[in-house]
Amino acid sequence: MRTEDDVETCVRVLERVHHSDGYPVNWPEKPAAWLAGTAPLGAWVAERDGRLAGHVGLSRSGAGDLAPGLWSGRNGTDEARTAVVGRLFVAPWARGHGIGALLLGRAVREARRRGLHPVLDVVASDTAAVALYTRLGWELLATVEQRWGPSQPVTVHCYAAPP
């Protein structure tokens, strides 16, 4: 579990990820609050060699989340039966060791423990994340265009965890 003591380090790691990969696309005004997300169900960190190496969060569906509606519509169930995986990142120095997959797996286990189906949205340009979800068997629900600002169209892939 992520603790309050982890948040400052998470923000520093996220800043490095943002500079190297452009994630998140728009740097949040309050990064610690952004990490908390809306309607959080949990958050976890991973360490490697005693250093914080990655982060993932799990939350209820919020404004702008597309995958919950797509999955629930396809399965004839309520969006409340989903949990959104988000805020997944791995420090650039820690990549290539399966940390992203481990963090994703932890969030999926928690969602399932709660009787919820894990879903997520990812910016299409984040090819490393797209490759991870594909390799782990996540189902592509749709690819959609969103507007994140007056002149900022963004292509987003919506995924659901395998059964």
Domain ranges of the chain: 4-160
106-109: Cβ within 8 A, 24+ apart:
106/44, 106/56, 107/42, 107/44, 107/56, 107/57, 107/58, 107/83, 108/161
Q: How does pLDDT run across 6-33, given as a tens digit for each residue?
A: 999 999 999 999 999 999 999 999 999 9
8 Å CB contact between 43 and 2? yes
Sign of CA dihedral 17, 155, 119, 105: negative
pTM above 0.85, yes or no: yes
The one-letter amino acid at 44? W
Torsions phi, psi for 116 (to 5 deg): -115, 155
pLDDT number for residue 88: 98
Q: Residue 124 corresponds to which amino acid? A: A
> What is 4-160's CATH number, 3.40.630.30, 2.40.110.10, 3.40.50.1000, 3.40.50.300?
3.40.630.30
| CB burial readout 55-91, b (16+ within 10 A) else e | bbbbbbbeeebbbbbbbbeeeeeebebbbbbbbbbbb
Burial of 9 (0-12, 13-18, 19+ CB in 10 A): middle
Beta strands in the chain (DSSP E): 40-48, 51-59, 82-90, 117-123, 139-147, 153-160
Angstrom distance (rounded) from CA 12 to CA 25: 16
Residues of the chain with pLDDT under 70: none
pLDDT of residue 29: 97
pLDDT at residue number 14: 98
Task: Provide the pLDDT for residue 46.
Answer: 98
CA-closest candidate to residue 11, choices 45, 41, 50: 45
